Amino acid sequence: MNKYLAIIKDSFREALASRVLWLLLVLITLLLLVLAPLGYHEVVTWRLGDNDVRGWEQLMHKVRTDGKKDEPSPSRRIFTLLDDKLQERLVKVKLPGIDEDARGPFEFMGVANDFRKSLNQAIEQPDFYDETSFTKVPLLSDELRELKETGPETLDASEVGRFNRLLMEASFPELVRGSPPTSIQLKYGWWEFFDPIPLRRATLQEWLQTGASFVMTWFVGAIGVLVAILVTSPIVPQMFDPGSLHLLLSKPISRWLLFLAKFCGGCAFICICASYLVTGLWLILGVRFGVWDPKLLLGIPIYLFVFAIYYSVSALFGVVYRSPIVCIVLTILFWGVCFLVGFAKITFENTIWSSSQITRVFDADDSLIAVNELGVAHVWNEANREWREIFTTQQQKQSRGILIAAPELRNMMQPLGPIYDQKHERLISAPVASPRPGMRDRALTVGSRSDDWEPRSENSMPTGSQALFRESDGEILLVSSVGLFRLTGDPLEKKRPVKLFGIQLPLQTAGPFENISPPDTNATVLTPPSTAALNRSNGTLALYTRGHLTLLARDDQGNYEVSAETRLDGEERQPVVMAIGGSTILLGRQDGRVQALDAATFEEQMSINPEGPNQVRFINSSPDGRWFAVLLHNGNLWMYDAEAKSLALAPIAGQGGISCATFSESGQLYIADQAVRVTAYELPDFTRQHRYSPSLGIWMRAYRYGLLPLYTIFPKPGELGTTFEYFMSGKETQATGSSEENLSASQRDLDPWAPLWSSALFMFVVLGIACVYIEWQEF
């Protein structure tokens, strides 16, 4: 063994003698020196940044509209605090998505910028709070209540800012994002740059992990590997120089072990560079950001592994062709092919495959309707064995391309529903709350069976739609951020927009919806993150908003009354996934916990992390309330039995690829897997009743039978960055930026193990071929 260690030691010696290594080390040192002054400090969160308001144009519109009214309100208070010139500009400016004759964005952006500055100046002042203006604002936040109880006049400067910021959040819950008490102010040396970022320290750590993963993937994984291949490619061909090789082969050593030792030695070069860079980054994160995470050092072996995959190919070419130039060219070609195959697969998976994935299935009398990741509904056609697209609005058609290409936008642009209105034999969908500027279609959409589900819509919606339910008596219930509404009128009755002084007013009218919010309570005012669930057995409505869970019981007249309230453990701003059935509330928590609570007493019946930090995406309860289908983001389905109070992995095929698990009215469990296949199971035995398996289209076939096998046999060095992310976070899926407030939004699949084992297998085969070749070849 000493002989082979000598070869490895020689490679280290060779690496240390290389000028390129020292050049790389100098470059890495420069990079670390550039990064070293980066740091942060925590500041109280009060300032409103660009991203802290979901729609500046809506806030400006609200302020200018209410500013003209006599009735005191937060909007009016803000308007009065603006100087005369800005008030005038605010009234005159054409707001995109609101004013029909809005011109280019530049005018709006100029006013919006000044408005933001003035607003920040206002909320910094102690006189921002005026009791009469804010009297109707529900103080849901514990922090806000505490500050108010302390007395606004006794607060110091930073507390005043914080108090006013919380007032803004409470006054405009659908527009102003909730914020943590402290934010992260980034700095470079003594220079503070960017607005403070509303992040908790724990979130900062996640961000830094993502940042480290980015650096690992691109700086180290791509650029670093290419440089490393250029530098190390001569090592194996040089070994075949006759004057060197014959002497080596005359020594009492094994040829294939000689080759493997040379290979390992080549990795030594990279080991030195990677260790230096990653240890340097780790020290900077530790010293400057206080993140002493030893898992970051896993970047060294992972990067080494990425390099080893390419280097094994380079070494094989080196053995066969004995030319460094050929090695470099063929290895870079191989890198390109790997990149293309990986890119094609990820692109296809994130677009065509994931957009086709069924996320909801429900019965519409004798029809089975499935809704995919884009929110597009399909009805099952048994004769043709296909899902036929129905109920697609013009807006959905127009935005389909964008949603396919940008999965992170799906959560924001998908409509609520559709749900089936059995009484009128129609599908109903509602626009999701807070559309982006430019999305003018905010109508309730209705499609009747008699019209072959053709969608029709009129402007008649309460703002801030959160959830649509069909109540036990068949009525349609809309939960919005401002209250509960029941569909009582004709949703297709056309209403003209209300204008005042030529300005279109926001649609505060409920249209065909009747406001049935219980009086004298703020329980139905929802501030993100929020969610709602309906108990199909007794009609109880569960509302969650910012750490508060409220149950509303339905009386015989159909009115809802608050029956119980509680505060969930953990942070206020955490999103949850929730279902209520029978006497159980089942919650999926951000930390991966599944928590069962008694629906009457909130007593905890079970709390378990089924798969570590992997989060729950959907929870659905059976109509009788006994079964809860708990679907994780990684595609694994767990079943909670409320009678036995136990959670277990569902004994069905397709685990890991399940995209939907829901119950029919009759209690059958519908499972969607392989993107478009739905299977109906009978509980409790999970007996398969029926399978809705359409024939695959050409793209799906190309993916499944062409790209996927190719991808499986190819190594995936480019994806080891996701493995690194997995080791850092422990999660098999990663939330995208827009889905952090909504656990049900689709997440990026990290798939940590596939790149590891397939790359290792590939490397093993390539090295094996090289070993056999070198053992049998005559030199």
Partner 1 sequence: MPNNAAIVVTDLAKSYRSGLLRRRFEALRGVSLQVERGEIFGLLGPNGAGKTTLIKVLLGIVRRSGGSASLLGKPAGDRAGRMKVGYLPENLRIAPHHTALTAMEYYGRLSGLPWSEIKSERLRLLESVGLADRSRESVRKFSKGMLQRLGLAQALLHDPELLILDEPTDGLDPVGRSHVRNVLTRLKEQGKTIFLNSHILQEVELICDRVAILDRGLVKVVGDVQDLSAHQSEGVELELVVAASEASVRQSLGSRDIAACQPHRDGTIRVVLQLPDQTAVDQCIDDLRAGGISIVGLSRRRVTLEDTFLKLFADTPEIVQSS
Give the binding site for partner 1 (CB under 8 A). Answer: 2-3, 5-7, 10, 13-14, 16-18, 238, 241-244, 246-254, 778-779
Q: Which is nearer to partner 1, 132 or 244 (CB)?
A: 244
Which CB atom, from 131 or from 778, has the smaller least distance to partner 1? 778
User: Rounded to the nearest whole angstrom, what is the least distance from the CB of residue 254 to partner 1 in the complex?
Assistant: 8
**What tokens does 497 get?**
């927009």
Asked whether the beta carbons of 761 and 770 are under 8 A apart, the reply is no
Nearer CB in complex with partner 1: 2/557: 2
CB of 616 to partner 1, least distance (A): 57
CA distance 442 to 457: 9
Edge-to-edge strands of the sheet including 455-458? 416-421, 426-430, 444-448, 455-458
Q: Residue 471 class from Cβ within 10 Å (0-12 exposed, 13-18 middle, 19+ buried)?
A: middle
* Tokens linked to 193: 């740059």
- Name which of 409, 530, 377, 554 is nearest 465 in CA terms: 530
> Smaller CB distance to partner 1: residue 190 or 776?
776
CB of 8 to partner 1, least distance (A): 11
Of 672, 663, 576, 671, the residue nearest 617 (C-alpha): 576
- Residue 270 or 594 having the CB closest to partner 1: 270
Q: At its nearest, how many Å lie between partner 1 and the CB of residue 15? A: 9
How many Å apart are CA 740 and CA 51, to the nearest integer?
A: 14
Distances (CA, A) of 658 to 261, 328, 387, 520, 653: 45, 42, 18, 43, 9
Nearer to partner 1, 2 or 508 (CB): 2
**3 or 688: CB nearest partner 1:** 3
DSSP, collapsed to helix, strand or coil, labels residue 352 as helix
Query: Nearest approach, Cβ of 331 to partner 1 (angstroms)?
Result: 22
Q: How far is the CB of 207 from partner 1 (least distance, A)?
A: 43
In the bound state with partner 1, the residue whose beta carbon lies nearer, of 18 and 367, is: 18
Distance of closest approach, residue 778 Cβ to partner 1, in angstroms: 4
Q: How far is the CB of 14 from partner 1 (least distance, A)?
A: 5
Would you say 7 or 631 has its CB closer to partner 1?
A: 7
Nearest Cα neighbor of 428 from 391, 462, 382, 465 is 391
* In the complex, minimum distance from the CB of residue 263 to partner 1, in angstroms, rounded to a whole number: 16
Taking the complex as a whole, the smallest distance from the CB of residue 268 to partner 1 amounts, in Å, to: 13
- Closer to partner 1 by CB, 154 or 250: give it: 250
With respect to partner 1, which residue has the nearer C-beta, 251 or 496? 251
What is the smallest separation between the CB atom of 311 and partner 1, expressed in angstroms? 18
The interaxial angle of helices 105-123 and 157-171, nearest 10 deg, is 130
| Least gap, CB of 775 to partner 1 (angstroms) | 11
DSSP conformational letter for 134:
T
Q: Is residue 684 reached through a cis peptide bond, with omega within 30 degrees of 0 on the bond before it? A: yes
User: 360 and 350 in contact (C-beta within 8 Å)?
Assistant: no
Between CA 588 and CA 570 the distance in angstroms is 13
- Single-letter amino acid code for the residue at 664: S
C-alpha distance from residue 638 to each of 194, 549, 617, 749 (Å): 43, 24, 11, 18
**DSSP strands (E only) in 422-559:** 426-430, 444-448, 455-458, 465-470, 476-480, 483-487, 499-500, 503-504, 513-515, 530-534, 541-545, 548-554
Contacts of 300 (CB under 8 A, 6+ apart): 271, 274, 275, 278, 279
Helix (H, G, I), strand (E, B) or coil at 386: strand
Closer Cβ to partner 1, 13 or 117, answer by number: 13
